[in-house]
Amino acid sequence: YYSNLFYLTGTRLAPKEKLDIPVLFMPDTMKMYEAVVVIHVMKENGENWPYEDSAELNKDLKSSVTVAENGGIQGILWIYPVHGIPEAPQQKLVPAVVRCPAKQRAERRVEALLSGVVPGATAMPAARNSATVNINNPANVQEVQVTDGFSTTVEFLYELQYQSNEFKSQLESLVGMDLVHREWDTESGIVKLIFNIVFAPNKPMRNKATLVVWCTTGGVWKFPMLFIATEPEVDDVINIEAVGLNKESIVGFKLTSQTR
């Protein structure tokens, strides 16, 4: 969990000096936690910063300063929202291999087991409002309906992540992924998601990827994958029949390019 407050009373900072503030995150459940780190700075000599229109401070500035009785600014606040998103331990999982000869199409079912999902969980509220967590805007959103004495809807988001933008450009148009089955085992508390992976490579390759699953109440699970495209089968056999010794024989065939 997040410690609610770190007290650094009396910490002196020289001009342009840097201050490192340690934040420890030790989640005990797979749900998102929120907190804020608040820095309050005052002058060492106790003087205030002058501000002529302190009575008419705008709303945004009022939340960032503390005003003294004489109208000056006594302290300045910096407020940093912190989001803690638990990630499942990285076990030594065997990658799910999707293998296919180039210029063909293969389908495979991939099973993802999510442990530690908390039904009906909500994020731990922060002391102040904070920005929404950005999780790279995954394109696929699916819901899992859970029934365990009551009806609870848990929403999952998933996507394939690649080693680099170069690999992403190679694989993104060649791989399709759909969630075809979802199941909650109420005894073990494990959510099972089964994906149908379609791989249609156009040339031999060997690329790694990671199936990443988020739960909107918090929690991230990662599963390694490996896409292998082997050498394509022979398209055809060309027979050239000789018309005689020391004479040329010619045979014609068409090649069609899939791109410009």
Query: Residue 175 pLDDT more than 70?
Result: yes
What is residue 52's predicted lDDT score, i.e. its pLDDT? 63
Identify the top-confidence range among 126-140, 148-162, 245-259.
245-259
**251 to each of 59, 210, 229, 243, how far by Cα in Å?**
83, 48, 31, 12
What is residue 58's predicted lDDT score, i.e. its pLDDT? 59
Alpha helices in the chain (DSSP H): 59-62, 165-171
Query: What does the angle CA 87 – CA 91 – CA 97 come to, to the nearest 5 degrees?
Result: 105
* 183-212 mean pLDDT: 88
User: What sign does the dihedral 133-135-137-139 (CA atoms) show?
Assistant: negative
Query: Residue 20 pLDDT more than 70?
Result: yes
* 196-213 mean pLDDT: 93
Mean pLDDT check: name the lowest of 90-94, 130-134, 169-173.
130-134
Beta strands in the chain (DSSP E): 33-42, 65-67, 73-84, 96-101, 106-114, 140-147, 151-162, 175-185, 190-199, 205-215, 220-230
Task: Give the mean pLDDT of the chain.
Answer: 78
* 121-143 mean pLDDT: 43
CB-count burial class (<10 Å; 0-12, 13-18, 19+) for 117? buried
Please, are residues 217 and 31 in contact by the beta-carbon 8 Å criterion? yes
Length of the chain: 260
* 52-57 mean pLDDT: 58
Query: Which amino acid does the sequence have at 242?
Result: A
Query: Residue 37 pLDDT more than 70?
Result: yes
pTM (whole model) above 0.95: no
Query: Residue 181 pLDDT more than 70?
Result: yes
What is residue 142's predicted lDDT score, i.e. its pLDDT? 46
Distance CA 38, CA 63 (A): 11
What is residue 2's predicted lDDT score, i.e. its pLDDT? 41
Distance CA 37, CA 16 (A): 20
The token pair that represents 11 in the structure block: 């910490």
**181 to each of 115, 144, 156, 158, 214, how far by Cα in Å?**
17, 9, 13, 14, 16
Query: Residue 33 pLDDT more than 90?
Result: no
The token pair that represents 228 in the structure block: 């292998």
Q: What is the pLDDT of residues 76-117, one digit of tens each?
A: 888 889 989 898 877 778 899 999 999 999 999 999 988 877
Please give the share of the chain, as a percent, with pLDDT higher than 90. Answer: 27
Distance CA 144, CA 123 (A): 18
What is residue 66's predicted lDDT score, i.e. its pLDDT? 77
Sketch out the chain's domains with CATH numbers. Answer: 1-30+33-84 (no CATH), 96-119+153-230 (2.60.40.2310)
First to last CA, the chain: 56
* C-alpha closest to that of 75 among 118, 39, 40, 117: 40
Please, are residues 84 and 133 in contact by the beta-carbon 8 Å criterion? no
Q: What is the pLDDT of residues 59-86, one digit of tens each?
A: 556 667 777 777 778 888 888 899 898 9
